[in-house]
């Protein structure tokens, strides 16, 4: 799956207590994709609250096209960076 498939301004976050995962859905046309970005609670716990919060926030911001370009100075796809 290319990165352009997950770039959007609309997200849904869900914590799944059954699997202890934070699920990030990059909504496309208001609809959830079949596969979310999943972050294990175990991984976040190992980071500690401060680093985990920063990492989750940065992850979401990197998925927003305008922030990706203007804040992080990254292209939407590797091919676009070469042009």
The first and second tokens of residue 47, run together, are: 């980071």
Count other C-beta atoms under 10 Å from residue 61's C-beta: 13
What does the pLDDT read at residue 78?
60
Q: Model's pTM, two decimal places? A: 0.78
* Dihedral over Cα of 66, 82, 56, 26: its sign: positive
Query: What are the structural domain ranges in the chain?
Result: 3-82
Which residue in the block uniquely carries the two structure tokens 């799956």? Answer: 1
What does the pLDDT read at residue 82?
52
Dump pLDDT digits (tens) for 39-69: 999 999 999 999 999 999 999 999 999 999 9
What does the pLDDT read at residue 38?
95
């Amino acid at each position: 799956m290319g990165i352009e498939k997950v770039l959007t301004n609309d997200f849904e976050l869900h914590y799944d207590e059954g699997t202890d995962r934070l699920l990030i859905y990059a909504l496309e046309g208001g609809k959830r994709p079949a596969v979310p970005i999943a972050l294990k609670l175990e991984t976040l716990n190992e980071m500690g609250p401060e680093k985990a919060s920063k990492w989750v926030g940065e992850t979401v911001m990197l998925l927003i096209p305008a922030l990706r370009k203007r804040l992080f100075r990254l292209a939407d796809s590797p091919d676009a960076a070469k042009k």
